[in-house]
Structure 1
Amino acid sequence: MMNSQLVKDMYTLEEQIEEIQRGNQTLQNEVIMAYQPFVARCVSDVCKRYIHQEHDDEFSIGLIAFHEAMHLYSEEKGSSFLAFAQVIIKRKVIDYIRKEKRQYIQPLLDVEEEDEHMENPEEISIAKKNYQLEEEAWQRKQEILELSKELKQYKISFQELAEISPKHQDARESAIFVAKQIAADQTLREYVLRKKRIPIKKLLRIVPVSKKTLERNRKYILTIFVVLTGDYMYLNEYIRG
């Protein structure tokens, strides 16, 4: 079994979950501890109020649900672990509140019951749209955090990226084009994933870009490549325009 700190430093959250499912109890405890704020946020979304981690029973229900999600999750389900865990947490908390017969505002996961409390169809539409926008904003934030962690493997920081990114539109488009060529070519893609750098000599034979330009924009190209080849649904939208 791999060292938990090594797993946390080198692998994505989904890969950490796989390690937990193989029996890494230490890593499981560390992940639960690290994601308590995430659990609290999910529970708060259901209860529509601040959740105190020590005094609110709903938070305990959320933690139990998070633990359950870790052992039920599979990447074959087609979603990130956090998206999957969020659904499990909210369902469990809703079930708990129903059993306790407490007053609460139903989250938009249960659309049909939510609609019953809203007489105005326009109000329903606005509420759903706002919820979706908030959810997408949160997912983008999670992707950015995950990207920041992954870029460390390429020795790239966001601060550095802001300074060296191409300033002109045509230069950015050229760099994105190069990144797409790398991502589309299996040999080049595997080289970058293994070496954590772009194969400049090989690229010069297939892209109409000078060596000087490739060297100057190499970290920006690598960043685009990481987004294109990773699980970054929302960040990919920015690249596609």
Structure 2
Amino acid sequence: MLESQLIDRDYRLEDQIEYIQRGDEQLRNEIIKAYQPYIARCVSDVCKRYIKKNNDEFSVGMIAFNEAIQLYSKDKGASFLAFAQVIIKRKVIDYIRKEQRQYMYPSLDVSEEEEIEDSPLEISEAKKIFQLEQESWYRKQEILELSKQLKEYKISFNELTKISPKHRDARESAVFAAKQLVEDPSLYEYVCTKKRVPIKRLLNLVSVSKKTLERNRKYILTVFIILTGDYIYLREYLEGVDL
């Protein structure tokens, strides 16, 4: 059985990815086949509907998963599946956008009298409206996903407006602290496992007081989640803060 073959290799998935990157094509095929259900789930999450193997979106997900195998590096700290999920979602979102743009102005079977001609300005404005509507939809999806993740850290989405630092320097300090958690593998693992900020260890890496870290810990965790997740649009809210 495929599963037993993978177990017999006695390697973590991240180690198996390294072997594939060194040229083990048989293992590549085994991994891709074994993780087809995972790929389908990632694609279904983006499409908000059940995706079958014969759907075009699934094929996009398979290609993205294979690309993730090539691009993955353990040095980045994230697990391979977390990294692959980001790549899959981005590729599927790009595919959906292209498909929607393709059908935005469908060809019409009309006579010359009925022919519709849009001015360049009208077309430009329509595209802007379409883009804004799409971005709004994706932001809402990211907010829903973030709300789910925040629950794992015992943070409610409604708390965010209350716990966000009011001053710019305080926000920058919190974002800097979150980056230390992302970039340090041991701290990253701690946060993902314990779902809390390692205050004492973090004090050695930042220039703020213990009291400040404790006061902003939920905001720091929220930024950590955004930085490590597939939150393309929510990251825009962090622009203006030194990321």
TM-score (norm 2): 0.60
The residue that corresponds to 1:134 in the other structure is 133
Question: Could you tell me which amino acid in structure 2 is paired with residue 170 of structure 1?
Answer: D
Deviates more, 1:163-172 or 1:145-154: 163-172
Question: Could you tell me which amino acid in structure 2 is paired with residue 80 of structure 1?
Answer: K
SS at match of 2:141: helix
- Counting only pairs closer than 5 Å after superposition, residues 43-82 of structure 1 correspond to structure 2 as 68=55, 71-72=58-59, 73-74=61-62, 75-76=64-65, 78-80=87-89
RMSD: 3.8
The residue that corresponds to 1:109 in the other structure is 102
The residue that corresponds to 1:164 in the other structure is 163
The residue that corresponds to 1:220 in the other structure is 219
| 1:162-182 Cα shifts (integer Å, max 9, x gaps) | 222222222222111111222
Deviates more, 1:214-223 or 1:75-84: 75-84
* Unaligned ranges ≥5, structure 1: 1-17, 40-62, 92-106
Cα distance between partner residues in 2 of 1:66 and 1:83: 18
| 1:121-147 Cα shifts (integer Å, max 9, x gaps) | 111111111111111111011000000
Question: Could you tell me which amino acid in structure 1 is paired with residue 192 of structure 2?
Answer: L
The residue that corresponds to 1:22 in the other structure is 37
Cα distance between partner residues in 2 of 1:21 and 1:184: 30
Question: Could you tell me which amino acid in structure 1 is paired with residue 153 of structure 2?
Answer: Y
Q: Which protein has greater RCO, CA pairs closer than 8 Å, 6+ apart?
A: 2
Cα–Cα, structure 1 residues 166 and 64, in superposed 2: closer, same or farther, change >3 Å?
A: closer
Is it true that 1:176 corresponds to 2:175 in the alignment?
Answer: yes
Aligned-pair identity in percent equals 52
Contact 1:20 1:70 in 2 (8 A): no
| 1:23-52 Cα shifts (integer Å, max 9, x gaps) | 9xxx9xxx98x999x56xxxxxxxxxxxxx
Question: Could you tell me which amino acid in structure 2 is paired with residue 108 of structure 1?
Answer: R
Cα distance between partner residues in 2 of 1:186 and 1:66: 35
| 1:62-90 Cα shifts (integer Å, max 9, x gaps) | x8889825643334373528737846xx9
SS at match of 1:126: helix
The residue that corresponds to 2:74 in the other structure is none
Question: Could you tell me which amino acid in structure 1 is paired with residue 37 of structure 2?
Answer: R
Cα distance between partner residues in 1 of 2:152 and 2:34: 20
The residue that corresponds to 2:83 in the other structure is none
Question: Could you tell me which amino acid in structure 1 is paired with residue 213 of structure 2?
Answer: L
Question: Could you tell me which amino acid in structure 2 is paired with residue 232 of structure 1?
Answer: Y
Count of residue pairs brought into register by the alignment: 178
1:195 positional shift: 1.5
Cα distance between partner residues in 2 of 1:135 and 1:182: 32
SS at match of 1:233: coil
Cα distance between partner residues in 1 of 2:226 and 2:187: 16
Cα distance between partner residues in 2 of 1:164 and 1:198: 15
The residue that corresponds to 1:4 in the other structure is none
TM-score (norm 1): 0.60
SS at match of 2:218: helix
The residue that corresponds to 2:12 in the other structure is none
The residue that corresponds to 2:230 in the other structure is 231
Cα–Cα, structure 1 residues 69 and 196, in superposed 2: closer, same or farther, change >3 Å?
A: farther
